Structure 1
């Protein structure tokens, strides 16, 4: 065994590791979350009908339960990763993700399915949150934003393909096979991580797990205006996306009757986010997160305001090409926001990256559910709740981030 292999397996002791490989490892690990969400979108109606859901809109609970479980999981997995190390926290979370998907694959009722989705979401919190902490371990500032943007670009390829995978599974097998596929993917991913990903948090930087440390880290997260504003902003932007995810199958397959072409439309919109994330990775080093985020927020809000009036003229059912002409640039603007908001919120939190990532992720998801779920449940066969959700998130995001930047500037001025 050579000297490199005999050294403790941390990122700091692996300077030869190409950054491209690290980005790929992080992106593919976080893709577990996207696969768990997007592969089943074409099957939501079938699952709800076969398992006896009470209302047509109850199919949305399959996604809400997953996000709810992930919200709770994020509270624990960040501090656990600060104490146990990133790798161990990842493996524990993925194991819970496997158990939850096994429950879904074998579910005899809609209630058991939702319980399995909540558990799998709880486990999926680890790949989502710990991956961000891993990036923060290695990068900071605009460098972190650039890495996160490229990770998002790879990550977004999964939503482009995942609905087609789910649709393909339905052609040859039951919707239960989708969950079996997630189990296999998670096991393979765990093996791959064990063999290829070194620990990014050395023993010297770990923090013993305690409720006091968690509460102290959470308090620091809430006290910093930049982190607080962008954390809440992340939630409102993600809330509009949850609204879209919850109603996309109903809008495209039922309202517009696209049938098996649903994955094509879904993938096209997801590609817009991916392109934006890639473009953001190129531009953020030059223009900065603040300027790009503001442009995207103003653009998305203005576009949504015009689209809401236009859709109302069509009584909530504009032609499909008109709807796509609105959604594609809207999704592009959101792609700019996703990586920048999270990186901006994490930027002051380097010393407590795990706890901060947990708090930011958990609070962000709570805010997102609080905004996205009511808009989703308000679906009435028109696209007005969808567009209204995006308009609301854009305006709130603009107000929150403007407040955060001004408070941060005042804080910096007073420190001088």
Structure 2
């Protein structure tokens, strides 16, 4: 690298003097990944702590503990509608700094929460604050890259992002050895402060000046309308939503599955790490092959594999032959397919919307996160002491997602829709 930022290489008009000059490719990917990791850490580090939180705050029904995850996801999804249009007007950097700073404060609020209701309120606010990093980060990448290059950057960042779930439950379990569950949220606050410092000192403004849009109702609705009428964007957004719902159902259910179905709660962090590790491996592989093979060929093949694997897993669970080993193997291979498909779905959903990237990322983030959270909550609430409801949710999500992709591409896979 020659030392110039990618924003500057792609558009010299955004070049800035001072401490933001000189950010290279690796640091760019690192910053993107660090912001994306804030979401994963806020969800996965506390999975081992859910029983302790329930006992401490008097949660009688075990399934109610899933609200700790769902409240965060609902905040994460809903606030994205706000950050996108604001970032299209005022730039990416101010919104990222605000959201990261608020995340630090609300993480402390969760740590100090005196009751379950207050904890859920702060979890909602925590999700709303970190939504800035979720939606604006995608806009930053889209500002600087497009097409297969964007998919490669997203895959590399996604690989680091997915490495966090590999370690997060183990990290949470480690801290629980010598800290109460509230200490986990102090750790999240400390990580947020680290990211805030990095953003403050190193990230340039990436929004192209000609793409700045006024904050007015007509402009916002015009951008939203475009985001919701572009066939490719809508199709892959909906496919992401249903597949994400399966993932959130897994996250909601996994601690109870290991504790109640397999009677092996201490193995949960290890098996969770192996399953999440397959997603990270898939993202690494995708970053190496997507520019050569194309986003459709890779993601469509992976989606077909996901459907076949989860239908098989459902049959195993339905016939009563599920074991801890079969659960781990089926979920690991399914998550490998998930990792190959989701980054590419995201890139294809954003590809037609460069001029309204901020608002488009907001709309897509809102739909995929809120829709996925509600689907995942439904899957989680159907937990009956076995893995059957979760495997059924995965199988249905895969079939529906495949149908959406098939319709989006005009009845064909692996190649763009005719006439597009």
- TM-score normalised to the size of structure 1? 0.93
Counterpart CA distance in 2 for 1:132 and 1:356 is 10
Q: 1:332 aligns to what?
A: 336
Check if 1:76 corresponds to 2:55.
Answer: no
Change beyond 3 A, Cα 1:65–1:10: farther
CA RMSD of aligned residues (A): 2.0
Counterpart CA distance in 1 for 2:58 and 2:221 is 42
Q: Show structure 1 runs of 4+ deviating over 6 A.
A: 7-10
Q: By how many angstroms is 1:96 displaced?
A: 2.3
Mapped contact 2:311–2:395 kept (Cα < 8 A):
yes
Q: By how many angstroms is 1:184 displaced?
A: 1.3
Q: By how many angstroms is 1:47 displaced?
A: 0.7
Mapped contact 2:299–2:342 kept (Cα < 8 A):
no
Mapped contact 1:79–1:214 kept (Cα < 8 A):
yes
Q: By how many angstroms is 1:205 displaced?
A: 2.8
Note the 1:391-402 alignment, pairs <5 A. Answer: 391-402=395-406
Q: 1:276 aligns to what?
A: 282
Q: 1:261 aligns to what?
A: 267
Counterpart CA distance in 1 for 2:63 and 2:37 is 26
Mapped contact 1:297–1:395 kept (Cα < 8 A):
no
Pick the aligned partner of 1:357 from 361, 385, 400: 361
Change beyond 3 A, Cα 1:91–1:248: same
Check if 1:409 corresponds to 2:413.
Answer: no
Q: By how many angstroms is 1:292 displaced?
A: 1.3
Pick the aligned partner of 2:325 from 321, 324, 327: 321
Pick the aligned partner of 2:374 from 370, 374, 382: 370
Counterpart CA distance in 2 for 1:34 and 1:85 is 25
Pick the aligned partner of 1:66 from 66, 69, 72: 72
Which sits farther off after the overlay, 364-373 or 237-246? 364-373
Q: 1:226 aligns to what?
A: 232
Q: 1:249 aligns to what?
A: 255
Counterpart CA distance in 2 for 1:20 and 1:124 is 23
Q: Could you say what secondary structure the match of 2:228 adopts?
A: helix
Instruction: Render the CA deviation track for 1:93-132: whole Å, top value 9, x for unaligned.
Output: 1122123212211111100010010000001111111111
Counterpart CA distance in 2 for 1:254 and 1:124 is 32
Which sits farther off after the overlay, 32-41 or 362-371? 362-371
Q: 1:118 aligns to what?
A: 124
Counterpart CA distance in 1 for 2:198 and 2:107 is 20
Q: 2:94 aligns to what?
A: 88
Aligned length: 406
Q: 2:57 aligns to what?
A: 51
Instruction: Render the CA deviation track for 1:255-290: whole Å, top value 9, x for unaligned.
Output: 222233321111111100000011111111111111
Q: 2:350 aligns to what?
A: 346
Instruction: Render the CA deviation track for 1:130-179: whole Å, top value 9, x for unaligned.
Output: 11100000000111011101110111111111111111111101100011
Check if 1:165 corresponds to 2:174.
Answer: no
Counterpart CA distance in 2 for 1:255 and 1:96 is 38
Check if 1:102 corresponds to 2:102.
Answer: no
Check if 1:206 corresponds to 2:233.
Answer: no
Q: By how many angstroms is 1:370 displaced?
A: 3.0
Q: Could you say what secondary structure the match of 1:172 adopts?
A: coil
Mapped contact 1:74–1:358 kept (Cα < 8 A):
yes
Query: Which runs of 5 or more structure 1 residues have no equivalent in the other structure?
Result: none
Which sits farther off after the overlay, 141-150 or 261-270? 261-270
Pick the aligned partner of 1:181 from 187, 191, 197: 187
Change beyond 3 A, Cα 1:404–1:273: same
Instruction: Render the CA deviation track for 1:49-108: whole Å, top value 9, x for unaligned.
Output: 211224110010000000000111111111111111111001111122123212211111
- TM-score normalised to the size of structure 2? 0.92
Q: By how many angstroms is 1:12 displaced?
A: 4.7
Q: By how many angstroms is 1:10 displaced?
A: 7.2
